Amino acid sequence: MLRARVFKEGVHFQNYIKSSLWSSMKHLWGIVNSNIVCVIGNGQNINFWSHRWALQTLVSVVQIPTNVQVNLKAKVVDFIHLGQWRLLDWF
């Protein structure tokens, strides 16, 4: 809920939103932002490339063309082995 109220398309709102929670937290935003995590569970339902499990989708960060994006089916679980990232196996 907080993310929906203070972010728009991954960018922090600069305008004022009346909220007792936000007015208390805005002074601590650096600490809060550096400790936000996304719980992805086992990663079987999270598309590695197109779901927003990171701050931005990877297809937008890497600027993958739309016509190529439909072929990117890898799930987050495909990049994890024994609880550790295994990105080098893919690249």
pLDDT tens digits, one per residue of 16-29: 556 667 677 677 77
Q: What is the pLDDT of residue 41?
A: 84
Q: What is the pTM of this model?
A: 0.55
The predicted pLDDT at position 28 comes to: 79
- The closest of 66, 89, 85 to 76, measured between CA atoms, is 85
Determine the residue type at 16. Answer: Y
- Phi, then psi, of 16 in degrees rounded to 5: -80, 135
Predicted confidence band of residue 71 (pLDDT cuts 50, 70, 90): very high
Task: Kindly report, residue by residue over 24-69, the tens digit of the pLDDT.
Answer: 767 777 777 777 777 788 889 989 999 887 778 899 988 999 999 9
Q: Are 91 and 48 in contact (CB under 8 A)?
A: no
* 4, 21 contact by CB (below 8 A): no
